[in-house]
Structure 1
Amino acid sequence: MKVIATTRQTQGTSASRRLRRADKLPGIIYGGTQPATPIELEHNPIFYALRKEKFHASILTMELDGKEELVVLRAFQMHPYKPQVMHIDFQRIAPDEKVTMRVPLHFSGAEESPAVKLSKAIISHAVSYVEVTCLPLQLPEFIAVDLSKMELGMTLRATDIAMPEGVTVHNDVVVASVIAPVEEEIIGAAEEAPAEEAK
């Protein structure tokens, strides 16, 4: 995915406000051997790109003043109630240096698992992403998680998932667990109140 930006010549609150009025987005790019550089981008392409899962978990190509470099999205701020991105941060990366990134999980197979089919249990997704470490070109767009072997009492951790070649789990967290079905208690009929004694 490609991002086009130019170096921002003016800084400060007033300058950023003027940029936003012109449908521009202030941001910054940092990291690597170069100093942090204030940048500006077209607002709408970034606004719609942020809605895509891939934009948050991919190595991006940034064309800055006509020169391309590899970056990753690190942070962004949204307006409290308007559909507007207020600021965005990118980090430079080197092709030969490993990065640690959040990668989304795509779950499948729960309905075919013994936990669901035989035990009538529920498989709970504990997280929607995991952090992995790899070279930029090895970064997967997502990681597939097969739940078809889950049984009652099982817990699936990040290190249990088959990772693509060159990709390692950064934090070993619980990814999914089986929740046993709760049997409904049969509530007995309420006791009848004693009849009021006749006076």
Structure 2
Amino acid sequence: MSQPTYTFNAQVRNDMGKGASRRLRREGKVPAVLYGAGKDAVALTLEHDKINNAADHEGFYSHILTLTVDGKKIEAIVKDMQRHPFKPKIIHLDFQRVDAKQELNTSVPLHFLNEEDAQKAGGVVVHHLNEVEIAVLPKNLPEFIEVDVAGLGVGDNIHLSDLKLPEGVSLVELTKGEDHDQVVVTVSAKKTEAEDGEAAAEEADKE
């Protein structure tokens, strides 16, 4: 299945400061900055609604995007996004340029498979991580990493070092030492009705 593509038109922004940014937002634009690959940072503006719609899709955060700036196509990834605290609006975006020859560090989501097997066996699947930071060349950037929990029993878990990584992908956390081999997912025992009742009683006593 072909992967979706994300292409956005962007304009170079010369007006800086909070006042200018507020004016842009009133005009339906979102301010952004593009940096990386050994080049100077460039302030940009993009159409808010197109970015906001794309941001509803998981792939927007893990795909290489194409920004068309002054007629030139630039490949980049989303490094940071600031949202309005209660309105469905994006306040600011950070993009990092992509160099085909240089590894990039970025986060990709985890997709958990066969959770129903553990549930049928009387367990509860507990996610400790929902995304991981990877180092990878742009050509090998995966949309997500799969975590298969089939065959796990109650008390079993999967660590970072247990993940089956796509070709050319490494986990940044594991480069920091063995003590960074975090637990990704655990299968815990289901609570009995008696245990649930005791927990509720304890909460009532605290109140």
Q: The residue matched to 2:39 in structure 1 has which SS?
A: coil
Deviations 1:11-47 (A, max 9, x none): 1222212211111111111112221111011110011
The answer to which of 120-129 and 177-186 deviates more is 177-186
Q: The residue matched to 2:49 in structure 1 has which SS?
A: helix
Q: Which has the higher helix share?
A: 2
Distance 1:127 1:85 in 2: 25
Among candidates 172, 179, 185, match of residue 176 of structure 1:
185
Q: The residue matched to 1:36 in structure 2 has which SS?
A: strand
Q: The residue matched to 1:40 in structure 2 has which SS?
A: strand
Map of 1:18 onto structure 2 = 23
User: Is it true that 1:55 corresponds to 2:60 in the alignment?
Assistant: yes
Distance 1:161 1:35 in 2: 37
Deviations 1:125-151 (A, max 9, x none): 111111111101101101111111111
Is the 2:79–2:106 contact (alpha carbons within 8 Å) kept by the matching residues of 1?
Answer: no
Among candidates 117, 121, 131, match of residue 120 of structure 2:
117
Deviations 1:55-75 (A, max 9, x none): 111211111111112111111
Q: Which has the larger radius of gyration?
A: 1
Distance 1:174 1:28 in 2: 35
TM-score by length of 1: 0.86
Map of 1:131 onto structure 2 = 133
Distance 1:9 1:54 in 2: 30
Map of 1:192 onto structure 2 = none
Among candidates 6, 13, 17, match of residue 8 of structure 1:
13
Unmatched runs of 5 consecutive residues or more in structure 2:
1-5, 174-180, 198-207
TM-score by length of 2: 0.83
Distance 1:64 1:177 in 2: 45
- Trace 1:18-167 onto structure 2 (pairs within 5 A): 18-113=23-118, 116-118=119-121, 120-167=122-169
Q: CA deviation at 1:173?
A: 2.3
Q: Tell me which stretches of 4 or more aligned residues in structure 1 moved more than 6 Å.
A: none
Root-mean-square deviation (CA, aligned residues, Å) is 1.7
**Pairs aligned (count):** 184
Distance 1:180 1:81 in 2: 37
Percentage identity across paired residues of the two chains: 38
Unmatched runs of 5 consecutive residues or more in structure 1:
188-199
Distance 2:105 2:115 in 1: 29
Task: Letter of the 1:63 partner, please give it.
Answer: T
